[in-house]
Amino acid sequence: MSKYIPVNTSNPEFLGLMQDIAKAIRTGDAKLTEKVKKQFAEADFTVFYNAETDEVRVLRKDCPPIDFAVSRFTDIPKGK
Amino acid sequence: MQYNAPNCSEEYNPMVNEPVKLTAEEIKTRQELSFEWTARYKDGTELKQYDDEKQLAYHFGHIDQDRICEFELTPKREGLNPVKVNLETGLFYIDNKPFKELFAGETRIPLGLFLSDKKVVSPWGNKAKLIYVRHVRRDFVPGPQGFGMQVSVTYEIGWEADVDDKHEKHVLVIDEQGRLAIPPTFEQQGFKAL
């Protein structure tokens, strides 16, 4: 049975995942990306990234997608 | 936004409980809408988004997804047409007439998929799963008396299912002026899977 994590940045677990994926995106760390993707997948999430708008899209099965600005979860500036 | 979460318990789908009273806030929300929905069930009964007689408001989670066969957006303003999707035929209807294609310039875009004599499977059994999302955008704009708010609402309506073992998703977007569009794919919006 998959794990339930609410799409809510007040939820520490979801916040942690978003901070990790933001770091992975900024640093280009492929290992970290795969690790966090797997953690998202355990909660039935798929994650997408829009390089132009610098947004992460979180899609849970059977729910509309929700977009978040990457800059909200990391201090690492884009392009570094 | 409204979610379709067939495998979630009530704890995760808090809308599947009692209808909401038509409070001042609900009335204010209602005023922002160009369309109100009606869910029609196989037994001929229906559930409307607002029950004026009992002064109640229903949300997506109140719709019985096992029994629904048709979902209609009824306009509240003049000049707009009702739009509905039939989960048994797989087709869209504008003003009760089948609407099977859109044209983007010279490009013909088929709408819906006729489901008769096809094997249809979704989380709700041997039927298409309803998709309905109300997208609400609120822009805060400066004005002479401080900040005002502009609201724009678009309505996404359609269905999703495995049809003859192939995943199909057919969705239409309607704006407040009744204009129709196909929602862009994630890729078209610039998103790539991580």
Whole-number percent of chain B with pLDDT over 70: 91
Residues of B in contact with A46 (CB under 8 A): 193
Choice between A38 and B26, residue whose per-residue pLDDT is larger: A38
Chain A closest-CA separation from residue B144 CA (Å): 31
Chain A closest-CA separation from residue B127 CA (Å): 15
Range ranked top by mean pLDDT from A21-25, B8-12, B104-108: A21-25
Choice between B6 and A73, residue whose per-residue pLDDT is larger: A73
Q: Bridge partners of B73?
A: B37, B83
Are residues B60 and B4 in contact, defined by beta-carbon separation less than 8 angstroms?
Answer: yes
- The answer to whether the CB atoms of B190 and A51 lie below 8 A apart is yes
Average pLDDT rounded to a whole number, residues B100-121: 89
Q: What is the ipTM of this complex?
A: 0.91
Residues of A in contact with B8 (CB under 8 A): 4
Q: Note the pLDDT tens digit of each residue in B45-67.
A: 999 999 999 999 999 999 999 99
The yes-or-no verdict on residue A30 having pLDDT over 90 is: yes
The yes-or-no verdict on residue B14 having pLDDT over 80 is: no
Instruction: State how far the Cα of B105 lies from the Cα of B10, in Å rounded to an integer.
Output: 46
Which candidate from A25, A33, A49 shows the least CB-CB separation from B191? A49
- pTM value is 0.76
Q: Note the pLDDT tens digit of each residue in B127-181.
A: 899 999 998 888 888 888 888 888 899 999 999 999 999 999 999 999 999 999 8
Which candidate from B12, B123, B189 shows the least CB-CB separation from A50? B189
When pLDDT is cut at 50, 70 and 90, the band that residue A80 belongs to is low
SS (H, E, C) A30-51: HHHHHHHHHHHHHCCEEEEEEC
* Structure tokens, A54: 């610098």
Q: How far is CA B32 from the centre of its chain?
A: 16
Give yes or no for B193 touching A (CB within 8 A): yes
Give yes or no for B114 touching A (CB within 8 A): no
Whole-number percent of chain A with pLDDT over 70: 98
